[in-house]
Chains A and B, each alone.
Chain A
Amino acid sequence: MTRKEFLVQFDELLELPTGTLTGIEKLEDLEDWDSLAMISFMGMVDEHCQIKLSPRQFVNCETVNDLLDLTKLPAV
Chain B
Amino acid sequence: MNPMDLTGRRYLVTGASSGIGRETAILLSELGAEVTVSGRNLDRLQQTLGELSGAGHQVAAFDLAALDEIPGWMKGLAVDRPFDGLVHSAGLHAMTPARSISAAKIDALMRTNFSAAAMLARGFSQKSCRRDTGGSIVFLSSVVAQAGQPAVSLYSATKAALTGLAKSLAVELARDLIRVNCVAPGIVKSEMSDQMRESLAPEQFDAIERMHPLGLGSGRDVAHAIAFLLAATGRWITGTTLIVDGGYLAQ
Contacts and interface: CB of A to CB of B under 8 A. Distances in A.
B97 A37 contact: yes
A44 B201 contact: no
A36 B204 CA distance: 12
Given A43-B94, A52-B198, A55-B199, A35 B204 contact: yes
The interface size bin for chain B is 10 to 19
B94, B100, B150, B200 — which one has the most chain A CB atoms within 10 A of its CB? B100
- Secondary structure call for the A interface: helix
Interface in B113-172: 150-151
A54 interface: yes
Interface size class of A (residues with CB under 8 A): 10 to 19
A45 B95 CA distance: 13
B99 interface: yes
A36 B97 contact: yes
Contacts of A22: none
The 7 closest A-B pairs by CB, nearest first: A40-B100, A36-B97, A55-B201, A39-B95, A40-B97, A54-B198, A43-B100
Interface of B: 94-100, 150-151, 198-202, 204
Given A13-B99, A13-B100, 4 more contacts: A40-B97, A40-B99, A55-B201, A55-B204
27 contacts: A13-B99, A13-B100, A15-B99, A35-B201, A35-B204, A36-B97, A36-B98, A36-B99, A36-B150, A36-B151, A37-B97, A39-B95, A39-B100, A39-B151, A39-B199, A42-B95, A43-B94, A43-B100, A52-B198, A52-B199, A54-B198, A54-B199, A55-B199, A55-B200, A55-B201, A55-B202, A55-B204
